[in-house]
Structure 1
Amino acid sequence: MVTGASTGIGRACVALLAGQGHHVWAAVRSAADEESLLREHPGQVSVLRMDLTDEASVRAAGERVREAGPLHGLVNNAGVALAGPLEYLPLEIFRRQIEINLTGQLLVTQVMLPALRQARDAGAHPRIVMVGSIGGRIAGPMLGPYHAAKFGLAGLTDSLRAELAPSGIGVVLVEPGKVATPIWDRGVAAGDDLIKELPEEAGRYAEMISAARADAMKSAARGIPPERAAALVVGALTGARLRPRLLIGRDAKLAATVVRLLPYTLLTRLTGR
């Protein structure tokens, strides 16, 4: 099962898994995305309509999957990137970010675990892949809500991995760097709408906001192709070797090295710039 299957990494994962002969549950929110996935992968894909902010829809999807039988893998990929200066950020925006990128990941995992346990009981080796971010290791300005959720997801994944190890269910955290997906375009649009509503004194953040916006646009245009990221996600899901964490992209590997090697004082100066 793949969440966030309408675009980007999620859609590329669905295509790759279906191409390998797997039957895939693809979770999307809109009828248009459902129709296009069914048209592209006839007989290989079953579409689940669910919204991570709508608990009833997620639980209904879990029931449908469980009734169909064992589930061999789950890719928790759905997410958004919401931006703004924390000093003025409306709390409903922060709550929405945490609800989608952190709480929603746990909810999907909870409702799919019974089907994953069915697969394990049948002798398979099911896995859960959480799509995190290098933004879960290093944080900069204006993406505070996103970083908070991704740092939280890293901790949640580590705990989940330890809890499920005795059950024989593997848990992997993949941490992409910049990937050319619509999440950044949508994030920029949402950020632009938020900026219009900020008080006048928020202008003190104008330079940071401009730099963050330019970086997001660069990510949308110059990040690695989602198909490349999806190949590594699918490898983490189905490969022979179980790796607890996997960095995706040169920038992610570089950032992880910087975090590991630089003294925290220098790292703070770097991210502040």
Structure 2
Amino acid sequence: MKISKKNTALSLFVMVLGAAGYFYLTQNDKPDYSETQWRTFYGEKPVDYRPEFWVTYYGSEDKSACYKSGVISVVDGTSKVEKEIYKEFVAEETNGGKNYVIRYPDKFKQNGCVYSSGGGKIHIEEKSDDPRLTQKPYNNKRKVYRMAIIYFADVTSISVRPDSAEEEFERGAMYINRPKYNVFCTRVKDKDEYNIKNSGGFWRWLFCSSSSIEHGIKKYMQFDAYTRSFWHAHPDIEFNFRVSKKIYCGTNKDFCSKMGLPEFDDAFLSPENFENFYKNGDK
């Protein structure tokens, strides 16, 4: 596979190896969802994969309960730092696992504070009953060891922007206010350069992509944006997933030759060809 394989693999390794850095709040009160907007991601998917949505909520009111006690921003040395609550919402499956829905709250009240999200991250991973995935250290989804067990990927990050940003994003390569995505994820094997226990000598990962041409501009799924007005007026966003039938070569050519892995043709993922490729897959 030629499209940014090396950078993608390196970024994925850094992502899974690094600490998440999130503050996990000790929750004494149950969340109050009485005033929230419930949002959904939904669509089609392979039966052996499951999407997730990862969200960080931030304290959003000017109350002491919304800030970390005794913690000051290192940027200016005076600003208070908002509390954070990190949550992972796993898809509910329907139609024999061929369809899914992720339902999550845009905000909620808890412990005297309102917590709000400004987007999040779409994640997808292969389903497995391997007991290592539920035992330490494998239960952390950012651990590099998971690459020895399942195929997975952070698909895209979603952010909510001011309405004034719409025109700027429309002229660029990033999607803005898109209500539906067709996403193709390529299975990739590469040589295990880090001697992961029980890896079999290789690691595995997904490379997920979507592209199109809109008003003469080539668009790519990378960091997807929504204006605030569109985000609140359209609580349901469709993400359809397909995963490659074949397993493709990573960055190590000697390993690929030894394993007999083919290279992926990047031309399939170009905006001119993507929709047709998504429809027909890698036969």
Return the TM-score normalized by structure 1: 0.27
Higher helix content, 1 or 2: 1
